[in-house]
Amino acid sequence: MYDACVPPGIRMMNNLVAVLRKAAAHAEAKKFDPEVLVNARLYPDMFPLVRQVQIASDSAKGGAARLAGLEPPSFEDNEKTLTELIARAQKTAAYLETLKPVQFDGSEDRTVHWKTRTTELSMQGLPYLVHHVLPNLHFHVTTAYNILRHNGIELGKMDFLGRG
């Protein structure tokens, strides 16, 4: 469970950092305010980049913490710049790096409980990881990537997947 949760979370957060850095460099090279990207979205009824990064971070740290039997760390959702979004993704990866495999022993069968904006949910650990945590993490990182790509940032598949 650790191997399926924590290393992919770290990798996705680090890849997100790299993509956001490319966005900042692109804005600087093209001489436009990089903060316009923070509120960019693919469609009017979709969350903007800032919220996509926040939810990806919450998915990675919250999912891992719950599977490890811990209370997820709370990050304020107050980022307003690309620099702050980069810092949040780095902070998430740093938190994930503190977790140890032994904390996940038996988590596939542990019942995980969490709250959403509208309800409380629970699932067994393995389905929680496979059907909730990882899909949410990848969806929101992918959407952040797509927002930036849509706005002209030169990104490719290897930016999403990472190197190594």
Specify the DSSP element, H or E, that contains 121: strand 120-124
Contact present, 75 and 57 (Cβ < 8 Å): yes
Mean of per-residue pLDDT scores for the chain = 96
Specify the 3-state DSSP secondary structure of 120. strand
Res 31 pLDDT > 70 = yes
Between CA 94 and CA 137, with CA 141 as vertex, the angle to 5 degrees is 70
Residue environment code for 69-106, b if the CB has 16+ CB neighbours within 10 A, otherwise e: eeebeebeeebeebebbbebbbebbebbeebeeebbee
Q: Does residue 164 register a pLDDT over 70?
A: no
Q: Which two tokens stand for residue 71?
A: 């209370």
% of the chain surpassing 70 pLDDT: 99
Domain 2-161 in CATH 1.10.150.120? The answer is no
- Token readout for 24 is 């900042």
According to DSSP, residue 41 is labeled: -
The domain spans of the chain are: 2-161
- The model carries a pTM of 0.96
Q: Residue 117 has what pLDDT? A: 85
pLDDT digits (tens, 9 = 90+) for 130-144: 999 999 999 999 999
Res 163: pLDDT: 77
Rounded Cα distance between 67 and 71, Å, is 10
pLDDT tens, residue by residue, 62-116: 999 999 999 999 999 999 999 999 999 999 999 999 999 999 999 999 999 998 8
